[in-house]
Amino acid sequence: MQADFHSRDSGRCFLKKLLLNLIFYPLFVAVTAGMFGFFLFPLLLIRPLIGPRRIVRIVRALILLYGSIVIRVLPFPFVRIRYKDYEKEKKRGACVYVCNHRSSSDGFLMANLNVEAVQVVNNWPFRIPIIGWVARVAGYLSVRTMAFEAFMKESCRLLGEGVSIIAFPEGSRSTDRVVNQFNGAVFRVAQAARVPVVPVCLSGNQFIPPKGTGILNPGLIKVHKLPALEWEFYKDWTPFKLKNVVREIIQSEVDTLEAV
Amino acid sequence: MNDDQVKKGVDEVFEEAFEISPDRLKPESKIFEDLGLDSLDIVDLIVALQKKFKVQIREDERVRKIRTLDDIYQFIIALKNAGGFSQS
């Protein structure tokens, strides 16, 4: 009897997974091509008329819209997102958002933050057709190809213009609950630009999709935007201390969310 | 300055510059994975070591091979044996 329940349950799970992947990927390709064809390409054609700065802002706004569609609409109802903002009432200017790295869907999930931002990425996202090209237009920063001085200068310029920076300082995805050691570059930027550091915790998307595969699993993804560390609070810390305190905050949230 | 004093001095650098507690400072501790330093922290570490031991540390093959805390001990000890240095 119990074995019968189990096999029926796993059959249902398999069916959900199959449906999710069969529905998501064709729609993903269609939406990506549609966003490019209907919005981005025409925008680039009229670029000389409205100026490069406005174009970049519009492209970033479109990335937010695109990310929201990809994470909230396309995989629904198989994948659900629960977003929690610990500072709901507070309006903030440009910040450095620091997030743990769980899956290739992390970048899309940052649409939840709903801010004009530039992501710090490795080289590989730039190589994805359309997405990589749009990331370049939006001014995304390639941490692998830029010298630290150039990275610092460009990041401070963006923050000064009111554009937030989103980074995944683990570099590569953690394969378990342990948040990997952080690279300190983005924390040095926050200190130099005197902006708040906002820890963001992701949980649940380590299976959506799991590392090494593109197969999506149904599930619940939690995105928690945690209270910011203000510059006045951390200004006397070393970058080493700052990155480790932020890492501990995120680790503690992961432990809470994924407690067995 | 003997080898033990050098090791103690290196530990003090980690405690003062990075606020790493002494119980984490084991010779086999990996600098990147266990102690959490990154390439930018290494620059800060070199500056702190130069100040502590009053030596010039240039980026050479030996520096690039450093992985553990013990590698740093041995590197500084080798510097001391090669040219000697004084501690304030």
Kindly report, residue by residue over A29-81, the tens digit of the pLDDT: 999 999 888 887 888 788 788 887 888 999 999 999 999 999 999 999 999 99
Interchain CB distance below 8 Å, A188 and B17:
no
Kindly report, residue by residue over A200-255, the tens digit of the pLDDT: 999 998 888 888 888 999 999 999 999 999 999 999 999 999 999 999 999 999 99
Is the Cβ of A174 closer than 8 Å to some Cβ of chain B? no
Minimum CA–CA partner of A180 in chain B: B33
User: The whole model's pTM is what?
Assistant: 0.88
Q: Which residues of A touch B44 (CB under 8 A)?
A: 238, 240
Is the Cβ of B44 closer than 8 Å to some Cβ of chain A? yes
Delineate the domains of chain B, giving CATH numbers in brackets: 3-81 (1.10.1200.10)
Interchain CB distance below 8 Å, A182 and B38:
yes
Is the Cβ of A241 closer than 8 Å to some Cβ of chain B? yes
Is residue A70 exposed (0-12), middle (13-18) or buried (19+ Cβ within 10 Å)?
buried
Task: Classify B84 in phi/psi space as left (phi over 0), alpha (psi -120 to 50) or beta.
Answer: left
Distance, in Å, from the CA atom of A79 to the CA atom of A207, rounded to the nearest integer, reads 11
Distance, in Å, from the CA atom of A124 to the CA atom of A142, rounded to the nearest integer, reads 9
Is the Cβ of B42 closer than 8 Å to some Cβ of chain A? no
SS3 A57: helix
Closest-CA distance, A25 to chain B, in angstroms, reads 37
- Within 8 A by CB and 6+ apart from A52, the residues are none
Kindly report, residue by residue over A132-178, the tens digit of the pLDDT: 888 888 999 988 888 999 999 999 999 999 999 999 999 888 778 89
